[in-house]
Amino acid sequence: MKFHGDKSPPPGGSEFIIRKYHREILSLNTSLPAKRRSLKDILETRDYFVTLKNGTRHRFDPVEIEKLSDRVPWYLYPRTMLPIIIEYVDQGGKKVFRVAGDRWDRRIVEVLLRGEFSVEGVSVLEYGEVSRLLSLYKSLLTIIISM
């Protein structure tokens, strides 16, 4: 295949890839929950499912729910929204994992990682921290790619 000029890409090549990348990310994001549920609600109802935006249902592992309830203080159960959403995002030219959501989401993740929480909670996570969270609570986490 011959290119137009010495260094130009084939017609529509890079634009096609970028559009396809955007479509794929949008498609992946349909697996986000339509509405998150509190740990308190899940424990009270013993209903371990959440409905996703694409209409399917995701099941939380009951063993992981019990592990989570052992780590999180009981008074934070209503504020512990599941699944916990972690974004892989470009922040200042660097790709990082960031806890999505509000201060309470960040505090809950900090409790899981460090056993206590600060005023703002943990925002940016290291790869090892995300790996540790996934190894313990894989059904309770959702990782998304943000653009």
In angstroms, the CA 122 to CA 118 distance is 8
**Pair (82, 100) in one structural domain:** yes
The pLDDT of residue 27 is: 65
**Pair (92, 139) in one structural domain:** yes
**Pair (103, 45) in one structural domain:** yes
The pLDDT of residue 14 is: 73
Check: CB of residue 72 under 8 Å from CB of residue 39.
yes
Domain of residue 13 covers 1-31
Check: CB of residue 132 under 8 Å from CB of residue 125.
no
- pLDDT of residue 31 exceeding 60, the answer is yes
Q: Whose CA is closest to 84, among 70, 68, 71? A: 68
Tokens read off for 57:
């249902």
**Pair (26, 87) in one structural domain:** no
**Pair (26, 80) in one structural domain:** no
Domain tally for the chain? 2
Q: What is the longest distance spanned by two Cα atoms in the chain?
A: 66
Going by their DSSP bridges, the two strands 49-51 and 57-59 should be labelled as: antiparallel
